[in-house]
Amino acid sequence: MDVGAPSNFDRILDLYSHSHTSITKDIAAFRYTDEEIKQAIREVHQKNNYLLDPHGACGYLALKEGLEPGETGIFLATAHPAKFKETVEACIGEQINIPERLKAFMNKARQSYPLSNDYKSLSELIRMLSGH
């Protein structure tokens, strides 16, 4: 599945009945420059020996900026820094160790299937791919 154009914002609009006022009561947004993101990757790696990917660095910065005094928070990241290997390596000045399982996955051929926007097409593709 190619998720080149994720529809997260459409999902959020649906969850909040397209009400901007309702959305802003629960969700805050932050933005950072490329240099701020790179600096966060460097600093976290140097101070905590933890390797952020660029998206994780944005989450980390937003958490720091959004916390009120005395609050503690967490941020979650799902991408391995190797997905952004060149960028992360340039930030920390060293090579990233890529886990063997991730290397094997990254070396596989990419597969994508054109699919129309309906359940029947999805169901047929799943059956075909699973051999049923």
Contacts of 95 (CB under 8 A, 6+ apart): 89
Residue 3: predicted pLDDT: 43
Residue pLDDT, tens place only, 7-34: 678 888 899 999 999 999 998 889 999 9
Confidence of residue 112 (pLDDT cuts 50, 70, 90): confident
Q: Is the pLDDT of residue 4 over 90?
A: no
User: Where do the structural domains in the chain lie, given as residue ranges?
Assistant: 31-108
Residue 1: predicted pLDDT: 31
CATH of domain 31-108: 3.40.50.1100
Give CA–CA dist 54/114, Å, rounded: 29
CA 130 to chain centre: 28
- The end-to-end CA distance of the chain, in Å, is 19
More confident residue, 1 or 97: 97
Residue 78: predicted pLDDT: 85
Residue pLDDT, tens place only, 55-111: 999 999 999 999 999 999 999 888 899 989 999 999 999 999 998 998 898 899 988
